[in-house]
Amino acid sequence: MAKPKGQYRFSFGPWNIDEGADPFGPPVREPIAMAKKFKVAKELGYHGVQFHDDDVVPDIDTKSATQIAKEAAKIKKMLDGEGLVAEFVAPRLWFAPETIDGGYTNNSAKLREYAIERTKTAIDIMNMVGSTSLVLWLAREGTYIRESKVGRKQVLQIRDALNVFLGHDPKVRILIEPKPNEPVDSAIISTIGHAVGIGYLTSDPARVGCLVESAHSILAGLDPSDDMSYALAHDKLWSVHLNDQGNMKFDQDKSFGSYNLRRAFNQVRVLEEYAYGRNGEWVGFDVKAMRTQKLAVGTKHLANSKATFLNLLDKVTSIDTKLEAELIKARDYEELDRYFLCLLMGKKY
């Protein structure tokens, strides 16, 4: 087994330890306090935590700048106490009544302003918890019925908003996390190609990158490892949300590798080929415990996802690269297929 080239640091978000509610039923597990979630992260060998702005400051819209700073400082202290760092902060722009019909692309100028101001606050919180990464999952930037908006205008409105954020903080790096649908019928920045592309429209493309979530690629009918490869070729893959997804259903956020191990293997393979992490990129998970899981075992999805990543990394670093090259040269892809299946199944080739 070769030594990995990548430098892997792992993170998850507080929403990844949840109470198990779904659109058809109420919570089934007791809530867990933030401090306890940080302890879980530490115990499971994670290095960082991903945040929404209102994970750091609950009921953020009702609080003053002083109160926000006080609560953010408290979270920073808790993180320091555990030896954890904040990977990123993301504005939760899909909850407030102001964003029912979108944030930066809302048809009302006043409501667009709300989304922009809220995001500036998220950037301030990002600084307070010691991060320079702002993640934007553009949840409601799209349409429920296409005629309600003009697509080209939406793209330019998002560009204009990105420019405001780049100007608000000269150090902020923006990571766009695309998803094709849910909650909207059709998102305007739906794939990683769109995310990379819009970065080039901004005033400072060097500070706009992206985040590939496995499930979001699959929901777009694409392979996550190909999406990662595309972003890596642009040096724009600044984070990932690894998870799994049973094809084009609702967004499942299953444990990494749970549905399709070979698909997960190929994600690790492309990250390792790039020596991912050498520029400080994180391996984030965005996984959900099954609703059936009892409270005491409600964090196994986090332990399992990380373990699967490391097991697959072992597989990647033990690829017989000489044999692989020979089979590729001979164009014997049936044999190459058998070799990789044997490798994944732990069978002698």
Task: Rule CB under 6 A: say whether 179 interacts with ligand 3MF.
Answer: yes
Count, residues near ligand 3MF per rule CB under 6 A: 10
Binding mask 258-297 for ligand 3MF (x = CB under 6 A): ----------------------------x-----------
Provide the minimum distance between the beta carbon of 104 and Mg ion in the complex, in angstroms, as a whole number.
19
| Strand, coil or helix: 208 | strand
The verdict on 137 binding ligand 3MF (CB under 6 A) reads yes
- Under rule CB under 6 A, residue 306 binds ligand 3MF: no
Distances (CA, A) of 268 to 129, 135, 242, 251: 29, 22, 10, 21
89: contact with ligand 3MF by CB under 6 A: no
Q: What does 53 interact with, of ligand 3MF, Mg ion, none (CB < 5 to 8 A by kind)? A: none
CB 223 within 8 Å of CB 192: no
Decide if residue 165 touches ligand 3MF (CB under 6 A).
no
Choose the contact partner of 135 out of Mg ion, ligand 3MF, none; CB within 5 to 8 A by kind: ligand 3MF
**235 Cβ contact list (under 8 Å, min separation 6):** none
* Near ligand 3MF by CB under 6 A: residue from 53, 251, 272, 281: 251
CA-nearest of 220, 183, 212, 208 to 282 is 212
Cβ distance to ligand 3MF smaller for residue 198 or 316? 198
Angle at alpha carbon of residue 256, lines to 255 and 261, rounded to 5°: 120
Q: Residue 10 binds which one of Mg ion, ligand 3MF, none, with CB within 5 to 8 A depending on kind?
A: none
Among 281, 286, 306, 327, binds Mg ion (CB under 5 A): 286
Using CB under 6 A as the binding rule, whether residue 213 contacts ligand 3MF is answered as yes
Compare residues 213 and 227 and give the one whose CB is closer to ligand 3MF.
213
DSSP state of 202: S
Are the C-beta atoms of residues 249 and 240 closer than 8 Å to each other? no
Q: Least separation, in Å, of the C-beta of 192 and ligand 3MF? A: 14
Residue 293 CB-density burial (10 A; 0-12 exposed, 13-18 middle, 19+ buried): middle
Geometric angle at alpha carbon 206, from 204 and 208, rounded to 5°: 80
By CB under 5 A, name the one of 18, 55, 213, 281 that touches Mg ion.
213
Q: Please select the residue that binds ligand 3MF; options are 15, 85, 120, 304, rule is CB under 6 A.
A: 15
The DSSP H or E segment spanning 134 is strand 133-137
Cross-strand pairs, 52? 90
| Of 245, 236, 233, the residue nearest 195 (C-alpha) | 236
- Give contact residues for ligand 3MF (rule: CB under 6 A): 15, 90, 135, 137, 177, 179, 213, 241, 251, 286
